[in-house]
Amino acid sequence: MLKGKTALVTGSTSGIGLGIAKALARQGANIVLNGFGDNQGPRAEIAALGVKVGYHGADMSKPGEIEAMMAYAAAEFGRVDILVNNAGIQHVARIEDFPVERWDAIIAINLSSAFHATRLALPAMRQADWGRIINVASVHGLVASAEKSAYVAAKHGIVGLTKVTALENATTGVTCNAICPGWVLTPLVQKQVDAKAAALGISNDEAKKVLLGEKEPSMQFTTPDELGELAVFFCSSAGNNVRGVAWTMDGGWIAQ
């Protein structure tokens, strides 16, 4: 379905980004990976799906490096047809204790990076009259949790950015939508499970149940593969007129 298209997925060396990259590659899209840590393993996983794969290690908190990444993608792949703004970090603390440096980093990586990648991707998408921008927001783009001020502010911001991007391109073949997962068991959430287990003096498995029980009626984690299939839907022709939605995959979290 996506043969000949190129998808750039930020923060795709791990977790949800890697799951989405693999789902798009299974549909034939060439993939540009980004993110920290090991990139050889993820590159090999994508290449095994029979598509072209590239990697750029831009730090998504730095606009100049995002520009370099977009220039690399254009030079090596011709054009970015699908942009998935996924890179993100978390920090948990009350507002009065929240480190200012963590606030700035979360706003830069979880929100401003999407603005920069989007503004740089749009001209070529509009010229081709086809494009998909998928912003990985969160249920925290729609509702709040205590001790996550920067994350909730950034995720509400990215839901707003999604709507504006969708509206500004509504008469074209370029769509923009947000995905809002509940709990997904990735390294980002494992840290919160570990903190809960340590704070309550319980096992890792018990801490997972406590975490799910607080918010997610299904008592199940959503998987990166499931989120990848939602991204594939947005890229399909059935998604041609899906514009500006914030689509939850949250086990009923915000239905309550």
- Which positions are catalytic? 151
Using the contact rule CB under 6 A, the part of the chain among 44-52, 82-90, 114-122, 206-214 near ligand NAD is 82-90
One residue of 72, 77, 103, 183 binding ligand NAD per CB under 6 A: 183
41 binds ligand NAD (CB under 6 A): no
Q: Decide: 44 and 21 in contact? Cβ < 8 Å.
A: no
Beta-bridge partner residues of 148: 93
Beta-bridge partner residues of 178: 135, 246
Residue closer to ligand NAD (CB basis): 72 or 183: 183
239 binds ligand NAD (CB under 6 A): no
> x-or-dash pattern for ligand NAD, window 2-21, by CB under 6 A?
---------xxxxxxx----
Q: Decide: 85 and 133 in contact? Cβ < 8 Å.
A: yes
Neighbours of 78 (CB within 10 A): 12
Number of residues lying near ligand NAD (CB under 6 A): 29
Least separation in angstroms between residue 14's CB and ligand NAD is: 4
Phi, psi angles (nearest 5°) of residue 162: -60, -45
CA distance 252 to 256: 7
138 binds ligand NAD (CB under 6 A): yes
Q: At what angle do helices 113-128 and 149-168 cross, to 10 degrees?
A: 20
E strand residue ranges, 140-181: 174-181
251 binds ligand NAD (CB under 6 A): no
Least separation in angstroms between residue 5's CB and ligand NAD is: 22
- Residues interacting with ligand NAD, by CB under 6 A? 11-17, 34-37, 59-61, 86-89, 109-110, 136, 138, 181, 183-184, 186-189
